[in-house]
Structure 1
Amino acid sequence: MIDIKIMQDASEIIRYDSDKLPYAIQERLLSQFTERRALCHWHPDIECIRIYEGSMCYEINGEQILLQTGDIVIVNSGQLHYGYAHDDEDCKFCVELIHPDIFKTNLHIYQENVYPIIHASGITYWLYHKEDSNYQQVASLLDQIFDIRNNPKDSMLCLLNGLFHCLWHCIYQSSTRQLQTATLQKNPDISLQKQMVTYIHEHYAEDIGLDDIASAGNISRSKCCKIFQAYLQQSPVSFLNDYRMEISCNLLSNTSYSITEIALACGFNHLSYFSKSFLKKYGCTPNQYRKREAGTLKK
């Protein structure tokens, strides 16, 4: 759950911590996200979330789980997922992204122990609670990865690479029973959802609507709406508008573009409609939001 500045196109843009090893690690607060809610996204990376304080609702392919202090969830490659506040509570957590290419140094190991898992339709995530027998091992590895990232050494990448492989060994052990019944066939509706979400990510600045989103999945309007409701609990147009609003917040906070320029860049053809929609969603005007964020950054 890397923020919008790191993953603006969800499936494509991740700024890794190293150009030599594809991983990214951050400590985050849910309150750093607009409305304490991340945007739905997907990527080929394995995503590890560990809750330090508070709780968070987390959705993976439309399935909701509640993460509480100490819980760990590891999301498999290519799954639609996002987190949001539980009872408006803030949440402190660590997120670690690991690209499967890290495990390709030995192709035999990758083909035998990695590829079948990241392409198995029935294996979407792994959830670890404190009382689970393998919890301490997984938690210790995630902590070591985080500590090494924050206290760099000359051999940091070597250490991280070894720990990533140890973590995958734990994941593999947790997956052996599921692998016996899992198939490599993906759920077609999830694939369609990813196509349509990606279309919105790539075309939000254009004059698009329900027909265009449905066409991106080559399905009917009604089927499009059913899929969005099943996996995102909102309509396609609502998701489009939420995404546009999230992008506008990012631009208001991090650029000097005028309000009109931002409205147009986010797909709003009329400034008045943008301002009215922004006020309804966030309880303030775009200009007030910009001033508030500027004041927060100065502190």
Structure 2
Amino acid sequence: MIEFGDTITDERGREDLGHVAGGFPVGCYFDDLSHKTIPWHWHGEMEAGIVAEGRIRFRTPGQDLSLSKGDGFFVNSEVLHEMHREEEGPCEVHILAFQPELAGAKGSIFWDKYIFPVLGNPQLEGMGLDRDLRKPVRDLIEDAWLACVKEEEGFEIRVREDLTRLLLLLGGKYPASAGKEKGGRERSRRYNERMKQMLTFIREHYGEPLTAEQIAASASVSPSECLRCFRSVLGTTPISYLRDYRLQTAAKLLAGTSRKISDITDQCGFSEMSYFAKSFREMYHCTPSAYRNGADPVRTGEGKY
């Protein structure tokens, strides 16, 4: 079934794809990024998508890509990623999120030969589609997406075949070297887990006074390693990310509640109203009051996180 609306994440930033579990482990999404962003998050499902309209910024810890209409992307299981509109105008993305077991159960020849090599390949953590893969993979993703939308008799078999062929193409294009990839996989896993721990800590404590040392301690790393991780993955510092996350949360409260702006300011960890107003204007190019009244913010600001 096709899903509309906002991406739902838990308090850790792990996306809630509960509807994917069960009889048919595939989620089909139509995301309109003209009026929202998909913030940094992760989930156990693999994800593949096509830009149907406009231009997006697609980011993972190892990729920072500008994708336009017709371009596709792939995100592996449990990999941090985010996307947002890159320019004014309509912006739509077709997304499929699917459990790796869709193509074959663990312990089967399908899992060992075709699925696990993709799961364990650092080259396939998150990627845009290169020239050789653009058309065949795009066609597979779009065909599977349309089959999910229409839900005609036997569509589950068609979707499973398309997504299995997708993994076959990706694994064939980017074969993993066992010895070399094992070390890369372990480093990548540690890197991802550290960032998840620190992002989780911020999302659980953003309303409290926080320091870079506290954020680093949440992942048992030094402040310098924390800074390196944030700069490498998100292109910012932990304190800048914390500020912008507070602003993003404040914007959601402004748009979705009738709370006083002063109460929202306090709840989101800003000790001074003047600093909150100045920072909010820098990100959204309007005042908090104007945002609440329906001003259309510049999405390149909102889309950072």
Q: TM-score, normalised by structure 2?
A: 0.78
- Tell me if structure 2 keeps the 8 A contact 1:16–1:23: no
Deviation at 1:238, TM superposition (A): 0.9
Over the matched positions of the two proteins, sequence identity in percent amounts to: 24
Deviation at 1:178, TM superposition (A): 5.5
The amino acid that maps onto 1:40 is W
Deviation at 1:38, TM superposition (A): 4.2
Using the alignment, how far apart are the partners of 1:203 and 1:119 within structure 2? 33
- Tell me if structure 1 keeps the 8 A contact 2:14–2:41: no
The amino acid that maps onto 1:213 is I
- Tell me the equivalent position of 2:116: 115
Using the alignment, how far apart are the partners of 1:24 and 1:260 within structure 2? 39
- Tell me the equivalent position of 1:95: 95
Using the alignment, how far apart are the partners of 2:78 and 2:20 within structure 1? 22
Of 242-251 and 51-60, deviating more is 51-60
Of 186, 204, 207 in structure 2, the residue corresponding to residue 205 of structure 1 is 207
The 1:48/1:200 distance shift into structure 2, 3 A limit, reads: same
Q: What secondary structure sits across from 1:39 in the alignment?
A: strand
Structure 1 stretches of 5 or more lacking a match?
295-299
The amino acid that maps onto 1:119 is G
The 1:251/1:199 distance shift into structure 2, 3 A limit, reads: same
Deviation at 1:214, TM superposition (A): 0.9
Question: Higher relative CO (CA 8 A, sep ≥ 6), structure 1 or 2?
Answer: 2
Of 197-206 and 70-79, deviating more is 197-206
Residue 146, structure 1, aligned to residue 145, structure 2: yes
Deviation at 1:74, TM superposition (A): 0.7
Using the alignment, how far apart are the partners of 1:101 and 1:180 within structure 2? 25
The amino acid that maps onto 1:218 is S
The 1:75/1:3 distance shift into structure 2, 3 A limit, reads: farther
Using the alignment, how far apart are the partners of 2:125 and 2:10 within structure 1? 23
- Tell me if structure 1 keeps the 8 A contact 2:7–2:15: no
- Tell me the equivalent position of 1:71: 71
Structure 2 stretches of 5 or more lacking a match?
297-305
The 1:83/1:178 distance shift into structure 2, 3 A limit, reads: farther
- Tell me the equivalent position of 1:28: 31
Using the alignment, how far apart are the partners of 1:175 and 1:121 within structure 2? 10
- Tell me if structure 1 keeps the 8 A contact 2:13–2:40: no
Deviation at 1:160, TM superposition (A): 3.2
- Tell me if structure 2 keeps the 8 A contact 1:50–1:72: yes
Q: What secondary structure sits across from 1:57 in the alignment?
A: strand
- Tell me if structure 2 keeps the 8 A contact 1:55–1:69: yes
Of 220, 240, 243 in structure 2, the residue corresponding to residue 241 of structure 1 is 243
Of 204, 217, 220 in structure 2, the residue corresponding to residue 218 of structure 1 is 220
The 1:200/1:214 distance shift into structure 2, 3 A limit, reads: same
- Tell me the equivalent position of 1:297: none
- Tell me the equivalent position of 2:126: 125
The 1:141/1:88 distance shift into structure 2, 3 A limit, reads: same
Using the alignment, how far apart are the partners of 1:13 and 1:190 within structure 2? 15
Using the alignment, how far apart are the partners of 2:100 and 2:264 within structure 1? 36
- The number of aligned residues is 288
Of 9-18 and 60-69, deviating more is 9-18
The 1:260/1:53 distance shift into structure 2, 3 A limit, reads: same
Deviation at 1:82, TM superposition (A): 2.3
Using the alignment, how far apart are the partners of 1:267 and 1:79 within structure 2? 28
Q: What secondary structure sits across from 1:211 in the alignment?
A: helix
The amino acid that maps onto 1:28 is D
List aligned pairs for 1:1-40, cutoff 5 A: 5-7=7-9, 9=11, 11-20=13-22, 21-33=24-36, 38-40=38-40
- Tell me the equivalent position of 2:300: none
Using the alignment, how far apart are the partners of 1:106 and 1:279 within structure 2? 50
The 1:3/1:260 distance shift into structure 2, 3 A limit, reads: farther
The 1:100/1:268 distance shift into structure 2, 3 A limit, reads: farther
Cα displacement string for residues 150-173 of structure 1 (whole angstroms, at most 9, x for unaligned residues):
223354445433433333233332
The amino acid that maps onto 1:115 is F
Of 63-72 and 96-105, deviating more is 96-105
The 1:147/1:158 distance shift into structure 2, 3 A limit, reads: same
